[in-house]
Amino acid sequence: MIKFAILGYGFVGAVHAATLKKVEGAEAVAVIEKDKSKWNSVTKGNIDVDGMQPLDVPLFETIEEMQKEVNADCLSICLPTYLHRSYTERAMAAGMHVVCEKPMALSLSDCDAMIAACEKYDKQLFIAQCIRFWPEYVALKKIHDSGELGRPVSFRFFRLSGKPSWGGPDSWFLQEEKSGGCLFDLHVHDADFVHFLLGEPKAVFARGVNLVNGTNAAVISHYIYEGNITCTTEGSWLYHSGFKMGYSAVYENGQIEYDSTQSPALKLWRTGADPEILPVNEGDGYIEQYKYFVNCLNRGVKPERITPESARFSIKLALAEKESLTQGRVIFL
């Protein structure tokens, strides 16, 4: 049994706690949350996950106190993004592997320090880019890699939500230097999936909208590849009706469309045939990513499906998009 401690019991900390109950071979053994008002409550975010509930595990204020009593194998870091690097280093120094929420960090130097900590302490780092494990995106990757629809032609990914409101009006989310804004916080899911699917683009071009304090709130990006192929993404915190994600992936011999708000949500068209409703596996990316990482830990192998280096490239992409937003030009990677 792999023992996980969860650091930060805000919205996503509660998602991790609920998720770990559904993963065989894993157990949440402690939570570290500095704000005691969260100890008996659940923070509601922009999506619902079954089983989110007040805590029923020992609670601590620091990871060092927790580690003395509980001796966890792995720390799941569910802290505001600007804290990801320092707590990854502290967790590994205290003898734990790390699951760290996306985005990995807000600078490449922080990503490099996290990768260096893995070497220094001989620990695994799993960046929770859950979309690589989300059933509808796993289905796309499988069909894409099989080559059965022929040459890839055009791709559009979207992820639309209201502003994260669960931290209140002064939330760290709404401060660019702490969250990176929508570009790093929400859109990074698609930036990550794009290069997982299509490989590294040679350049990016982005246009965006900011909040009054200058924090990015919406971004539309072009990922520029060699050859006859287009790829755009849209990420927004300015959407008025809930949350939706999806994509349209067009190939020379067919296309796949996913819209999380539709039922059926995932469809495949082969040239000249009626649309097919694609079956997807049960579960969600949160569960699947833990199942995968628990398996890696049990086998003592690096998580090849999302290496820290690959998660770092997602930050490189987001930084290039930020530069494009600021400079109004194409940025080569």
Ligand X SMILES: NC(=O)c1ccc[n+]([C@@H]2O[C@H](COP(=O)([O-])OP(=O)(O)OC[C@H]3O[C@@H](n4cnc5c(N)ncnc54)[C@H](O)[C@@H]3O)[C@@H](O)[C@H]2O)c1
> Which two tokens mark 237?
């915190």
> Which two tokens mark 333?
């990677």
Q: Which of 152, 167, 201, 246 binds ligand X (CB under 6 A)?
A: 167
Residue numbers 90-129 binding ligand X by CB under 6 A? 101-102, 128
Q: Which stretch binds ligand X (CB under 6 A): 19-27, 33-41, 133-141, 256-264?
A: 33-41
Could you say whether residue 165 binds ligand X (CB under 6 A)? no
Could you say whether residue 12 binds ligand X (CB under 6 A)? yes
Q: Which stretch binds ligand X (CB under 6 A): 9-17, 106-114, 193-201, 212-220?
A: 9-17
Could you say whether residue 176 binds ligand X (CB under 6 A)? no
Q: Which of 1, 25, 35, 51 binds ligand X (CB under 6 A)?
A: 35
Q: What's CA 274's distance to the chain center, in Å?
A: 34
Could you say whether residue 215 binds ligand X (CB under 6 A)? no
Q: How many CB atoms lie within 10 A of CB 236?
A: 21
Is residue 197 within 8 A of residue 167, CB to CB? The reply is no
The least distance separating ligand X from the CB of residue 7, rounded to whole angstroms, comes to: 6
Q: Which residue is at the shortest CB distance from ligand X?
A: 10
Q: Which of 54, 68, 151, 166 binds ligand X (CB under 6 A)?
A: 166
The least distance separating ligand X from the CB of residue 241, rounded to whole angstroms, comes to: 19
Which sign does the torsion angle of CA 39, 44, 45, 50 carry?
positive
Total binding residues toward ligand X, as defined by CB under 6 A? 26
The gap between the terminal CA atoms of the chain, to the nearest Å, is 42
As a whole number of angstroms, the distance between CA 237 and CA 217 comes to 5
Beta-bridge partner residues of 222: 205, 232
Is residue 158 within 8 A of residue 233, CB to CB? The reply is yes
Q: Which of 29, 98, 130, 182 binds ligand X (CB under 6 A)?
A: 130
As a whole number of angstroms, the distance between CA 12 and CA 25 comes to 21
Of 34 and 68, nearer to ligand X (C-beta) is 34
Could you say whether residue 9 binds ligand X (CB under 6 A)? yes
Could you say whether residue 208 binds ligand X (CB under 6 A)? no
Of 195 and 222, nearer to ligand X (C-beta) is 195
Give the contacts of 271 (CB within 8 A, at least 6 positions apart).
253, 254
* Exposure letters 37-76 (e unless 16+ CB within 10 A, then b): ebeeebeebbeebeebeebebeebeebeebbeeeebbbbb
Of 76 and 255, nearer to ligand X (C-beta) is 76
Of 43 and 71, nearer to ligand X (C-beta) is 43
> Which two tokens mark 301?
């192998």
Residue numbers 254-293 binding ligand X by CB under 6 A? none
Of 78 and 325, nearer to ligand X (C-beta) is 78
Angle between helices 84-93 and 63-70 (to 10 degrees): 30
- Give the number of residues written for the chain: 333
Is residue 101 within 8 A of residue 78, CB to CB? The reply is yes
Of 102 and 222, nearer to ligand X (C-beta) is 102
State the pairing for strand pair 203-210/266-270: unpaired
Q: Which stretch binds ligand X (CB under 6 A): 30-38, 48-56, 194-202, 290-298?
A: 30-38
Q: Which stretch binds ligand X (CB under 6 A): 32-40, 237-245, 275-283, 305-313?
A: 32-40
Of 152 and 285, nearer to ligand X (C-beta) is 285
Is residue 57 within 8 A of residue 24, CB to CB? The reply is no
Of 104 and 331, nearer to ligand X (C-beta) is 104
Footprint of ligand X (CB under 6 A): 7-13, 32-35, 38, 43, 45, 78-81, 83, 101-102, 128, 130, 166-167, 185
